[in-house]
């Protein structure tokens, strides 16, 4: 049996658009068709961000702390902070996440100490807020942040999506385009998209080994 020996298959934006239009029973004939499809692809990426789907864009970031400063500006591409620690003298101390209400209800936001809690203020430019306020300028905060997928801005660009998500992206784009171009196919294409989404998400979930241990009562009855 002869195989290709190649493992570098990937689609650029135009090829995803062509695939999506074909699933809709249409052709991308005009520049506007390509433009509206790229817009749909970027909206699809925003939906993935809202679902916390793009785990492959997690970046670990280190931020130096300044004594007496509680708020630190993050990159505008930050979607979420998944976990964070305070690093002091090469030792990491976990810090807990606060909701907006919990942070608002802290009576004294100027108290200094080793930070033990954080709040992500989801502004246009997000900010990380720590409490207690850092008591020195030698600690650092290390956090895993989820960042945006790069935009589909030119037709020749490849898309920042791992191989296992290719079917999900093609199905999702077809569904989004069908809403505008082929409404009769929306239910069918939506169901395919949700199936591909679930399949891709199941592959991305953390997996841990487990053992099945029979109960003592069952063992004694054997």
Residue 82 and residue 61: Cα distance in Å, rounded?
Answer: 11
Residue length, the chain?
222
For 78-111, what is the HEC assignment?
EEEEEEEEEEECCEEEECEECCHHHHHCCCCCCC
β-strands 78-88, 140-147: how paired?
antiparallel
The span from the first CA to the last CA of the chain, in angstroms, equals: 51
At 119-168, the pLDDT tens digits run 999 998 999 999 999 999 999 999 999 888 887 776 567 787 888 889 99
**Reported pTM:** 0.67
Q: How confident is the model at residue 211 (pLDDT cuts 50, 70, 90)?
A: very low
Residue 156 and residue 27: Cα distance in Å, rounded?
Answer: 18
Residue 219 Cα distances to 176, 198, 213, angstroms? 54, 37, 10
Residue 220 and residue 21: Cα distance in Å, rounded?
Answer: 63
């Amino acid at each position: 049996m002869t195989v290709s020996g190649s493992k570098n298959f990937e689609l650029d934006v135009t090829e995803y658009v062509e695939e999506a239009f074909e699933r809709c029973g249409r052709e991308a004939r005009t520049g506007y068709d390509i433009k509206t499809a790229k817009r749909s692809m970027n909206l699809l990426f925003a939906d993935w961000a809202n679902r916390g789907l793009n785990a492959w864009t997690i970046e670990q970031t280190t931020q130096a702390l300044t004594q007496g400063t509680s708020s630190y500006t993050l990159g505008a591409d930050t979607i979420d902070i998944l976990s964070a620690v305070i690093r002091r003298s090469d030792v990491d101390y976990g810090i807990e996440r606060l909701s907006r209400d919990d942070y608002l209800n802290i009576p004294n936001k100027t108290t200094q100490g080793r930070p033990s809690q954080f709040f992500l203020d989801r502004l246009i430019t997000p900010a990380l807020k720590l409490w207690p306020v850092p008591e020195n300028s030698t600690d650092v905060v290390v956090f895993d942040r989820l960042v945006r997928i790069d935009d589909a801005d030119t037709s020749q660009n490849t898309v920042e999506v791992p191989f296992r998500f290719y079917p999900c992206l093609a199905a999702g784009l077809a569904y989004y385009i069908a809403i505008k171009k082929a409404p009769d196919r929306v239910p069918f294409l939506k169901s395919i998209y949700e199936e591909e989404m679930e399949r891709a998400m199941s592959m991305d979930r953390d997996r841990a080994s487990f053992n099945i241990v029979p109960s003592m009562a069952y063992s004694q009855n054997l």
